[in-house]
Amino acid sequence: MDDQRRSALDWLAKAERDYEAARRMIDEPREPLLDAGVYHCQQAAEKALKGWLTDRGIAVTKTHDLVHLVRLCAAEDEAFSLLIPAADFLSPFAVEFRYPGDIFEPPQEEADRALCDARGILDAVSDSLQ
């Protein structure tokens, strides 16, 4: 396995760990941590997309803008354009609930959607890498 593929798979492994952290936080029946959970959903999607780009030899910039990352992927594989709505939904969670503000955490429905959208992006990246 070459270094580029190994690095891409490392990105994907970290993405899966972020997703699992998000799932545990959001699905916790007694005291869910929805704010931290949606942050990890965004992180999972970001790392998965950066892994795909790394696998293709495309420079990965420091950004939390998932729509930008999806568009970079879609320039190589048009199927990624279907992920733009999920990327657009998840992008704000990189910072929205990380600091005190008007809203402490998202509603459960938003957290559930974030989990679903993150899984969709992870699955699309995983399928494309195989």
Instruction: For 15-50, give the secondary structure using H, E and C.
Output: HHHHHHHHHHHHHCCCCCCHHHHHHHHHHHHHHHHH
Domain tally for the chain? Answer: 1
Asked whether the whole model's pTM tops 0.85, one would answer: yes
Element containing residue 88 per DSSP (H, E): helix 84-90
Q: Identify the pLDDT of residue 125.
A: 97
Q: How do the pLDDT tens digits run along the chain, 130 residues long?
A: 789 899 999 999 999 999 999 999 999 999 999 999 999 999 999 999 999 999 999 988 899 999 999 999 999 999 999 999 999 999 999 887 777 777 788 999 999 999 999 999 999 999 998 8
Q: Identify the pLDDT of residue 101.
A: 74
Distance CA 54, CA 22 (A): 24
Q: Identify the pLDDT of residue 59.
A: 87
With H, G, I as helix, E, B as strand and everything else as coil, classify residue 104: coil
Domain of residue 108, CATH code: 1.20.120.330
Q: Identify the pLDDT of residue 44.
A: 98
Distance CA 94, CA 87 (A): 11
Domain of 21, in residue numbers: 3-129
HSE of 79 in the Cβ direction (CA atoms, 13 Å)? Answer: 8
Instruction: Count helices and strands (H / E) in the chain.
Output: 5, 0
